[in-house]
């Protein structure tokens, strides 16, 4: 494609490593800007500048803080094509207690920011392991018993907007599928809020399932049963 060829020449001095120079990586930035090479170049440069200014490579290689991981747990598995799947038990994310116990609102947001960056970095890193086969990743959110009050007001709302905004700005078009299980009215309200930081492309990938009878066969068609924890319909212990 001429656009991809032009884009590659425009960003060649910015990117390093085989993956970042691959079609798989570059096409994602072009798609995010509707195949406008100039806009995609500015978008990618801004993301790379952000990574450098915030030492994201070092953050991504670090281990999650144990206390943060217990409060905002996430996990990685792989689909039947060998591509990563980020598992988010959102019902268990303790926003209200977390921000109530933080020494300051800003410190709480900063620590959450580091934690959510690590989740995205670990997921993206899993693509790098075999980018010739996997160009994207999927995400599964479990909302069983989730209530809007768990967000704890502005703290949780800002944190969730930061979580999805990080994906949108620094890992664009990486999402292969977004499965939201045990969805309820509280999730619908949260989703409306997240529309302010997500693209229409991301929003269109969201699939909402209310009951286990609806979502279990869908997930087992995506991920082998033995690679899914029980709460996600699998047998992994």
Domains of the chain: 1-53 (1.10.8), 64-228 (3.40.525.10)
In the chain, the N- to C-terminal Cα span, in Å, equals: 46
87, β-bridge pairs: 75, 140
Q: What's the pLDDT tens digit per position in 159-208?
A: 999 999 999 999 999 999 999 999 999 999 999 999 999 999 999 999 99
Query: Which CA distances in Å does 167 have to 71, 105, 143?
Result: 20, 23, 20
Give the pLDDT mean for 74-87: 95
Residue 17 has pLDDT above 80, yes or no: no
For 119, counting Cβ atoms within 10 Å of its Cβ (0-12 exposed, 13-18 middle, 19+ buried), the class is buried
> Across the chain, how many H-helices and E-strands are there?
11, 5
Best CA proximity match to 183, nearest among 174, 175, 192: 192
Q: Residue 126's pLDDT is what?
A: 87
Q: What's the pLDDT tens digit per position in 212-222?
A: 999 999 999 99
Give the pLDDT mean for 20-29: 86
Q: What's the pLDDT tens digit per position in 105-157?
A: 999 999 999 999 999 999 998 887 666 678 899 999 999 999 999 998 899 99
Contact 194, 222 (CB under 8 A): no
pTM for this entry: 0.93
Residue 18 has pLDDT above 80, yes or no: no
């Amino acid at each position: 494609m001429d656009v991809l060829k032009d884009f590659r020449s425009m960003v060649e001095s910015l990117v390093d490593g085989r993956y970042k120079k691959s079609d798989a990586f570059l096409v994602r930035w072009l798609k995010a800007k509707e195949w406008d090479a100039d806009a995609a170049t500015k978008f990618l440069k801004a993301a790379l500048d952000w990574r450098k200014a915030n030492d994201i490579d070092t953050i991504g290689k670090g281990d999650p803080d144990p206390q943060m991981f217990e409060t905002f747990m996430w996990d990685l598995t792989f689909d039947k094509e060998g591509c990563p799947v980020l598992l988010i038990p959102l019902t268990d994310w303790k926003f209200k207690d977390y921000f109530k116990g933080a020494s300051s609102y800003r410190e709480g947001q900063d620590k959450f920011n580091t934690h959510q960056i690590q989740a995205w970095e670990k997921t993206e890193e899993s693509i790098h392991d075999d980018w010739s086969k996997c160009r994207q990743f999927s995400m599964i959110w479990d909302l069983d018993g989730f209530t809007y009050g768990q967000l704890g007001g502005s703290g949780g709302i800002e944190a969730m907007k930061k979580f999805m905004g990080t994906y949108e700005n620094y890992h664009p078009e990486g999402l292969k599928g977004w499965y939201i299980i045990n969805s309820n009215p509280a999730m619908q309200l949260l989703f409306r809020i997240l529309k302010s930081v997500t693209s229409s492309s991301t929003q269109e990938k969201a699939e909402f399932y209310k009951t286990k009878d609806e979502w279990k066969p869908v997930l087992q068609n995506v991920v082998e049963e033995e690679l899914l924890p029980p709460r996600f319909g699998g047998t992994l212990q």
